[in-house]
Each structure stands twice: as C-alpha cells, then as structure tokens.
Amino acid sequence: MPRTRRMEQIEALLADDPADPFLRYGLAMEHASQGDDATAVQHLRDLIALDPNKPYIPAFLMAAQSLVRLEKESEAAELLKQGMAAATRVGTPEAMHARGEMEGLLATVE
C-alpha cells in the first residue's frame, strides 16, 4: 500500500510522542482507510499493548473489524472478548458504549 501524506504527518508526530494513543489510533485508521487491514491490526494491537492496565478501548473494536475484513473471524472474536473485559474494567460511559458495539459485532462473528 502506498503511504499517504497523512500517514507521514502522523508518523512525524509519533516520533516526538510515541506513546500518544490518539496518534497511534489515527495511524491505524489511516491504514484501514487505505485497505491495509493487516497493518491497521498490527498498529491497533501495539496500541492495546501500550498500557495493558488501561488499554485504549476503541482499538479492540477497530482491530476486530479489520480482522473480520481479513476473514479472521476467530481472531476477531477473541479480541472482542478481551476488549469487552477491558471495557468492563475501565467502566467509563465511553468504554461501556464501546463494549456494547463489541457485543454486537461478536454476535455476528460467532
């Protein structure tokens, strides 16, 4: 996949702040929007692993959606279950909203 100008901009910003979850998420979404779901999944998995005690909850859903597009439903289902558990631990309204979306996707892949 060709690199976009947006990818280059995000990567430049990440060089200054490699732990920024919003930049990491944005880079993954840029890859997904270009049809490079495999790279998007890798970036999202890296984002999830960045802070295992407080993972970036939307990354679970977006990674699972990319895995479904890659026809890796069993991997998507496992990641969704992990994401739902993480969302419950975090417990914020945003996390619980994401949990509901993950439940919906899980119902379609199991």
pTM above 0.85, yes or no: yes
- Residue given tokens 């295992």 in the structure block: 52
- Based on the structure, what is the number of domains in the chain? 1
Give Rg (Cα) of the chain. Answer: 14
Domain containing residue 21: CATH number:
1.25.40.10
Token pair recorded at residue 94:
């945003």
Query: Rounded CA gap, 77 and 65, in Å?
Result: 10
Give the dihedral of Cα atoms 64, 68, 69, 70; nearest 10 deg: 100
3-state DSSP helix/strand/coil percent for the chain, to nearest 5?
A: 80, 0, 20
What is the tens place of the pLDDT at every residue in 14-55? 999 998 999 999 999 999 999 999 999 999 999 999 988 889
Its domain, for residue 35, covers: 5-109
What lies within 8 Å, CB to CB, of 95 at 6+ separation is 57, 86, 87, 88
Using the predicted structure, report yes or no on whether residue 1 has a pLDDT greater than 70. no
